[in-house]
Amino acid sequence: MVNDRINDPSQVSSAGLAYLGDCVYELYVREYLVLKGVSRPSVESLKYVTAHVQSRVVEILLPMLTEEEMTEFRRGRNNGHTSVPKSSTPAEYRRATGLESLFGWLYLNGRHDRLRELFTAAFAETDPAAEETE
């Protein structure tokens, strides 16, 4: 880990984990779109990083999460949310923040194989942003 002052990623604030996890999630989305051959990935990626789509991803992943991962997801989901985007419900926004928090926590723990496994599972059956493109 880059910062030696924090030896336990569970000690990072849920807001900090969500901030980092947002970036990690978007990186996986961008890779997914580029490898799919999407001609305008920068435009298309915007459909995948909405709270609505991330909330749908959460519903797919929940049965796969370990108890430890559920704890980190809940910690992020339950973080005090003072504002919610107009494009999502408060519940969707909380689930999306929980997902981002989980991705940030897994990243800081060096669990890149698990991140790949979860992201791949979320996109294996169906494209979670499909209804966004119709």
42, 61, 83, 117, 124 from 120: Cα distances, Å? 20, 10, 30, 5, 6
Positive or negative torsion for Cα 24, 103, 58, 14: negative
CA dist., res. 132 & res. 108, Å (int): 31
CA dist., res. 132 & res. 129, Å (int): 5
Residue 49 DSSP class: S
Catalytic residue among 4, 8, 22, 113: 22
113 is catalytic: no
What residues act catalytically? 22
